[in-house]
Structure 1
Amino acid sequence: MDVARRFRALIDTLCDAVARRGAAGAFGPGSGALTILLWTRLRRYATFLLRLCDNQVPAPRPRPASRRPRRPVDRARLALPRRTAWLLAPVPEAIAAAGQLRALLADPELQRRIGEEPRLGRILRPLCRCLGVKLPAPLRLPPRAGSRKRTKPAPASSTHAGGAESRPLARRFRPPAACAPPRRRNRAPPLVRSR
């Protein structure tokens, strides 16, 4: 079976599971819109990948030099979660789909197509993220120019009046609840008899 058909079978299975679990309320109460959004997005991924593999998608047009101003983004609009592996908890069938996706990404034919057509990354990256699949090297994006890794600031050395440097205070150790001694109960004072 070629890559496109395997991907289509993977998405079909995942869409069936999402529809079944979403109808049962796996995404929370009143999450019908989220279920429909996820199902639609998965179907769109499958359609676009099939069209890319059949060379039916035209090459992207160059962007014009002067762009129109963008419309403001509506923050209240429904969006899918962005956490890694977020789909595995509400849809347990997604664990099998993640394994199938790993096998598909290891296929040399798909790796060759990713090298030829970088637009496949727009489909596979979010799918890998929601299923918790580690991105293979051809799909990883280069780091952004403006972003840099956060580093912890160096501790400022402060001196006391005596000139000795102070060390940071040690963190308090709190044993886990299982190791902690039992809490004492407040007991009533003993009764005193009056004569």
Structure 2
Amino acid sequence: MDLAARFRAIIDGFCQAVAVRGAARNLAPDTRALLLLLWTRLRRAAARFAVLAAGAPPPRPRAPKPRPARPRAPDLPRRRGWVLAPIPEAAGIAGRLRALLEDPATIALIGTDPRFGRILRPLCRTLGLRPPPCLRRAPPAPKPRPPRRPRVRHPLAPANDPPNRLERATPLWLARAPPARA
């Protein structure tokens, strides 16, 4: 069985578990809406994976088109493994996905096209899996530090003062004090 078919079978099982839980009468309406959104995203992920696995050409760079303002679509939760509570069957699906991601053929396929990461990283997070090394993003480059300002000596300080005030034998205010009257 090729990788796209294996991934499709995993997603089909996941969608079936979502459908079983969504058909339950004891769910709140917002939970049903969340499961419908999850179902849609899973189906899109399976379709995108199949297209990429078939060898889709890289996307052509295009100028962004202005889009009319519209209300933002609802988001899925972002917590790692959030789907395991409402859909306990997802634990078995997570094991099947982990086995697929550990397959050398899958690792080689993911290494050829980084677009697989956009499909698989959110799915791993949803199921509570740590992404394998081939899916992990490189850490961002550290920001360059701003150049240090040159140290300016106080104009009243004597030239032979040590640079560190902690190393002075006597405090500067005592060194400049007028002589004591006798």
Give the alignment's TM-score, normalised by structure 2: 0.70
Q: 1:138 aligns to what SS in structure 2?
A: coil
What is the number of equivalent residue pairs in this alignment? Answer: 143
What is aligned with 1:173?
none
Structure 2 residue 123 is matched with structure 1 residue 127:
yes
Amino acid across the alignment from 1:83? R
The alpha-carbon deviation at position 32 of structure 1 amounts to 2.7
Structure 2: distance between partners of 1:110 and 1:25: 39
- CA deviation map 1:136-176 (0-9, x unaligned): 111111233578xxxxxxxxxxxxxxxxxxxxxxxxxxxxx
Structure 2: distance between partners of 1:142 and 1:14: 29
- C-alpha change, 1:78 and 1:103, in structure 2 (3 Å) is same
Between 1 and 2, higher relative CO (CA 8 Å, sep ≥ 6) is seen in 2
Structure 1: distance between partners of 2:139 and 2:26: 35
Q: 1:90 aligns to what SS in structure 2?
A: coil
What is aligned with 2:57?
58
Amino acid across the alignment from 1:113? L
Structure 2: distance between partners of 1:27 and 1:16: 17
- C-alpha change, 1:71 and 1:27, in structure 2 (3 Å) is farther
Structure 2: distance between partners of 1:91 and 1:72: 34
Q: 1:87 aligns to what SS in structure 2?
A: helix
Who wins on radius of gyration, i.e. which is larger?
Answer: 2
What is aligned with 2:47?
47
The alpha-carbon deviation at position 70 of structure 1 amounts to 6.9
* Contact 1:10–1:100 (8 Å) recurs in 2: yes
CA RMSD across the alignment = 2.3
Amino acid across the alignment from 1:80? L
Q: Name whichever structure is richer in helix by fraction.
A: 2
Unaligned runs of at least 5 residues, structure 1 = 148-195
- CA deviation map 1:39-94 (0-9, x unaligned): 01101111111111112x33111244xx556766745x311000000011110110
* Contact 1:18–1:39 (8 Å) recurs in 2: yes
* Contact 1:84–1:129 (8 Å) recurs in 2: yes
Structure 2: distance between partners of 1:54 and 1:131: 25
Which of 95, 98, 120 pairs up with 1:102? 98
Q: 1:84 aligns to what SS in structure 2?
A: coil
Q: 2:84 aligns to what SS in structure 1?
A: coil
Structure 2 residue 11 is matched with structure 1 residue 11:
yes
* Contact 1:98–1:131 (8 Å) recurs in 2: yes
Structure 2: distance between partners of 1:14 and 1:48: 16
Structure 2: distance between partners of 1:124 and 1:33: 23
What is aligned with 1:175?
none
- C-alpha change, 1:72 and 1:94, in structure 2 (3 Å) is same
- C-alpha change, 1:26 and 1:60, in structure 2 (3 Å) is farther
* Contact 1:38–1:80 (8 Å) recurs in 2: yes
Percent same amino acid at aligned positions?
A: 55
Amino acid across the alignment from 1:121? G
Structure 1: distance between partners of 2:22 and 2:48: 24
Name whichever of 21-30 and 44-53 sits farther off: 21-30
